[in-house]
Amino acid sequence: MADSDTTEKSILEIHEEFLEHVEAGSSKIRLLSVVTVVVAGLLAISYIYQVASAYFTATTSVTVNLRDPILVVFEMLLTVLALLWLYVGVRDYRFVSGLSKSIARARALEREIEEEISAKSA
């Protein structure tokens, strides 16, 4: 009976850890998603403007100063966003990997308990 309580407790702890992780991460992921959508929208608008301007103005080529401070800051922001998404992905992967191992251990304990119960009832 003690093993059953232990297994039940470990499954509940895993479930609670998962819920806490989802709750803690959801606001961060939501914020990153909003920022990413805004940046992607600005990029799309600027690309559409560049393509359209070639047809509606006399400008057919553009020179870009790669040392322009605004361009450098914008590129750095995009790099930071990409690194944040990478961090979120790695963190979530590690969490899910650990959770999968915990679930496998809990399922193994469940099978042992079921075998003990069926052996005692037979």
- Per-residue pLDDT, 2: 52
CA 50/CA 10 separation, integer angstroms: 57
CA 34/CA 26 separation, integer angstroms: 12
Q: Taking the domains of the chain in order of start, what are their residue ranges?
A: 2-121
User: Mean pLDDT in runs of 10 for the chain (122 residues)?
Assistant: 60 74 72 77 85 82 88 90 80 75 76 86 76
CA 122/CA 115 separation, integer angstroms: 10
In terms of Cα–Cα distance, which of 106, 98, 94, 115 is closest to 12? Answer: 106
Helix axes of 69-121 and 2-56: crossing angle, nearest 10 degrees: 150
Tell me the pTM.
0.50
- Per-residue pLDDT, 8: 63
- Per-residue pLDDT, 13: 78
